[in-house]
Amino acid sequence: MSTDTLASPAVGHAVPRPITVPNDRSKEDRIFRAVARAAGFTAFAILFLIGFFLLWRGLPALRAMGFRYFTTSGYSTLHKPYHFGALAQMYGTIVTSLVAVIFGVPVAIGTALFINEYAPIQAKRALIAMVDLGAAIPSIIFGLWALHQFQPEITGTTSWMVRHLSFIPLFSASTPPFNGSFFIAGLIVGLMIVPIVASVSREVFSLAPPGEREGALALGATKSQMIRTVVLPFGRGGIIGASMLGLGRALGETIAVYVLLGLDFVISPHILEHGGTTVASFIAAEFGAGGKLGTDDLLMLGFVLFTFTLIVNLIASLIVNRSRSGKGVEL
């Protein structure tokens, strides 16, 4: 009975109307939101301006060489016939970055695993701080150290590799000196990308579900088996994304590479040979040397580098976002 009376309003009473609560934002808030949104979009404006101005100012260089710009290497911009292009620089950038990723990423993942899985809890924070510090050390200091300490130490090893491993085409080299090679520059850049790769992968590893970790251990897995079967598969997407982020950093690394690499247009697979250049270090080194057209060329190179890193970084963030570790796994 009582439910009936509650359900149907008594006859004769007016049906109560829902009250409309005024929900308009005040003028102050509308201004605030507009200003904040505008600030957000300035980032887009800046990014657009970077691409636009570099392309605009660099276009004369592209026009002077036509499409051959991307298949030529050289820097004769002062007198006709012009002979310059981006090929050797792009090649050097890619080779150096690949060496950096090949050496840097596994070490970074090992570091991340150590900090996350093995390090005692008291040491963990100190270790994280130390690795983060690596990102704050200026790249010119990396370059200074590499020039005076690392390179003299490692040329012995690279010349040994040339002498004994030259049956592998990659490691053959014609003449000494063996300093200033893509290999050595790549190693230093590899060390420089370790902090970001380690930080991202550590974050991903820490998200591996504890239930599955414990499950693996309870089934008798050793710690390394647990890492192989639970942590790494869950972190796969994150590792790929982190490597791409590291690759993006490596592509744009300027000063450390500039300090180490010679400045010649070498396109050879012999990564232990002296010489070669990258887009970023070439811009830094040749600044002011090539006249008006030379400057245009450098700006065009800047545009090439900008586009390149932008694409790599966007893909990286897409991958990391897509394959959020542990997504879709319910326990």
Partner 1 sequence: MTSPLDVRDLLEAPTAANGNGAAARATGGLDGTLSHAVLTGDVRRVAPLAPPRRTRDFGAQGVALLVGSAVSSFAVVWILFYQLTLLSGAFGFGLCWYACFLAVFWVVTNQVVDRSAATDRVITTVVGSCAAVVIGALLYIVIWVFIRGVAHFTIGFLWRTLADYQPAEGTSLFNQVGVGHAIVGTLEQVGLAAAMAVPLAFLTAVFLNEVGGFGTRFVRTIVTAMSGVPSIVAGVFIYAIFIVPHTLGYSGFAAAMALFVLMLPSVTRTTEEVLRVVPGGLREASLALGASEWRTVRQVVLPTARSGLVTAVVLGVAIAAGETAPLIFTAFGANTLNANVFHGPQGALPLVLYQNIFQAQAVVQQVAFTAAFVLLVLVLILFVVARLLGRRSTKKGRLRRIVVAPFHWVKQMVSE
Q: Which of residues 61-120 bind partner 1 (CB under 8 A)?
A: 106-111, 113-115, 117-119
Helices 291-322 and 279-286: crossing angle in degrees, nearest 10, is 150
| Residue from 102, 133, 219, 329 binding partner 1 (CB under 8 A) | 133
| Cα–Cα distance, 240 to 233 (Å, whole number) | 11
Q: From the CB of 67, what's the least distance to partner 1, in Å?
A: 22
In whole angstroms, the minimum distance from the beta carbon of 95 to partner 1 comes to 17
Q: Measured from the CB atom, is 4 or 24 closer to partner 1? A: 24
| Closer residue to partner 1 in complex, CB, 267/327 | 327
Which residues of the chain form beta strands (DSSP E)?
Answer: 75-76, 83-84
The distance of Cα 103 from the centroid of its chain, to the nearest Å, equals 14
**255, 143 contact by CB (below 8 A):** yes
CB 57 within 8 A of CB 298: no
Give dist(CA 64, CA 82) in Å, integer. 8
Residues in the chain: 331
Quick one: 87 or 310, whose CB is closer to partner 1?
Answer: 310
Task: Supply the minimum distance, in Å, between the C-beta of residue 121 and partner 1.
Answer: 14
Judged by CB under 8 A, the chain residues 178 through 237 that form the site for partner 1 are: 191, 194-196, 198-200, 203-204, 207, 217, 221-225, 227
Single-letter residue type at 273: E
Q: What is the CA radius of gyration of the chain?
A: 28
Buried b (16+ CB within 10 A) or exposed e, 283-319: bebbeeebeebbbbbbbbbbbbbbebbeebbebbeeb
Q: Which residues pair with 87 in a beta bridge?
A: none
Site map for partner 1, 307-326, x if CB under 8 A? Answer: --xx-xxx-xx--xx--xx-
- Interacting residue with partner 1 among 77, 89, 181, 254 (CB under 8 A): 254
Least distance to partner 1, CB of residue 315, Å: 10
Maximum C-alpha span of the chain: 106
Give yes or no for residue 252 binding partner 1 (CB under 8 A): yes
Smaller CB distance to partner 1: residue 266 or 283? Answer: 283
Residue closer to partner 1, measured from CB, 6 or 36: 36
Cβ-based nearer residue to partner 1, 94 or 144: 144
User: Which residues, other chains included, contact 50 with Cβ-Cβ below 8 Å and sequence gap of 6+?
Assistant: 306
Q: Smallest gap, in angstroms, from Cβ of residue 248 to partner 1?
A: 5
**Choice between 238 and 276, CB closer to partner 1:** 238
Minimum CB distance to partner 1, residue 250 (Å): 10
Q: How many Cα atoms are found within 13 Å in the side-chain-facing hemisphere of 109? A: 20
Stretch of 2-10, 123-131, 167-175, 268-276 contacting partner 1, by CB under 8 A = 123-131
36 contacts partner 1 (rule: CB under 8 A) = yes
List the one residue from 95, 99, 154, 239 that touches partner 1 (CB under 8 A): 154
Write out the two tokens for 329.
């796994």
Site string for partner 1, 281-310 (x = CB under 8 A): --xx--x-------x--xx--x--xx--xx
